[in-house]
Amino acid sequence: MDWPSMDMLLFLIIAGFVAAFVDSVVGGGGLISVPALLLTGLPPSMVLGTNKLGGTLSSVTSTISFLFSGKINGKLVLALFPLSFVGSALGTYAVHLLPSSFLKPLVISLLVIVLIYTLFKKNWGADAKPRPLTTATKAACALCAFVLGFYDGFFGPGTGSFLLFLFLLLGFDFVGASGNAKVLNMASNIASLAAFFMLGSVHLGYGLPMGIAMIAGAFVGSRLAIRHGARYVKPLFIGVTTVLIGKQLWDLLQ
């Protein structure tokens, strides 16, 4: 197993911390961590697997932090967790059979809808206004958890934004939505990471140092979100979603 040079090690630690700081609150950390890993010269498949190692460590840390804050609806996310897990495992397998490029136009359209809806709902997510979980709502949540898990394993960009949006629609405030979203994101990350390990696509020499930095970034980011609430999370959510749209458009036009 190769280990990075001191310069590369420092670069990965800084990039990992910043990526996890953002990802712990609204997702989108891969916009930072994936390009950073590509600069190491690892092949793309190894980069994606190694990034999942850091992403999993980050999401576990964020989940624990939000859990102790009391912001997670344990009954709801425990019911959705296995659906997200299985969906991600199937998505990671499917990516080896099908090209993911056809998803990009759909993802861009959905992210634009999410962004516009959030911008026009001025006080949306400022306070928790839980909606009753009817049978139809539960079925819709289950379907969304599975589909977004599959999407995360198959393609990935914007998963955090879509999950957070789902919980906002259920009446959670921005901090509660972020906490519950991280639990499902953790499920999809664990399943995808396990698949990458089985495929031999995780480089521990690069992934572990970055992953440790991501634990620290996730802890700091989630604590700030819990402390400062919607006035901190909502602008970050809007900013990251905007960048995600720009990144996907850029990739589509190349």
DSSP letter at 101?
G
Query: Structure pTM?
Result: 0.84
- The tokens describing 176, both together, are 């509660």
Share of the chain above pLDDT 70, in %: 91
- The tokens describing 160, both together, are 């955090």
The verdict on residue 104 lying in a domain is yes
Q: Which residue has the higher pLDDT, 181 or 114?
A: 181
Helical residues (DSSP H) of the chain, grouped into ranges: 6-26, 30-38, 44-69, 74-94, 104-120, 135-154, 159-169, 174-198, 204-228, 230-253
Q: Do residues 145 and 84 lie in contact, with contact meaning Cβ atoms separated by under 8 Å?
A: yes
pLDDT of residue 5: 81
| Mean confidence (pLDDT) of the chain | 85
The verdict on residue 1 lying in a domain is no
Residue 61 has pLDDT above 90, yes or no: yes
Give the mean model confidence (pLDDT) for residues 131-154: 89
Give the HSE-up count for residue 176: Cα atoms under 13 Å, Cβ half-sphere.
21
Q: Do residues 152 and 192 lie in contact, with contact meaning Cβ atoms separated by under 8 Å?
A: yes
The verdict on residue 180 lying in a domain is yes
User: What gap in Å lies between CA 157 and CA 60, rounded to an integer?
Assistant: 19
Residue type (1 letter), 156 = G
Q: Do residues 209 and 57 lie in contact, with contact meaning Cβ atoms separated by under 8 Å?
A: no
User: What gap in Å lies between CA 210 and CA 164, rounded to an integer?
Assistant: 25
Residue 176 has pLDDT above 70, yes or no: yes
Burial class of residue 190 (count of CB atoms within 10 Å of its CB; 0-12, 13-18, 19+):
buried
DSSP 155-174: T-TTHHHHHHHHHHHTT--H
Instruction: Tell which residue, 151, 46, 45, has the closest CA to residue 104.
Output: 151
Which of 10-14, 224-228, 248-252 comes out lowest in average pLDDT?
A: 248-252
Structural domains counted in the chain: 1
Tell me which residue range forms the domain holding 149.
6-253
The verdict on residue 85 lying in a domain is yes
DSSP 231-247: HHHHHHHHHHHHHHHHH
pLDDT in tens, 178-201: 899 999 999 999 998 998 898 888
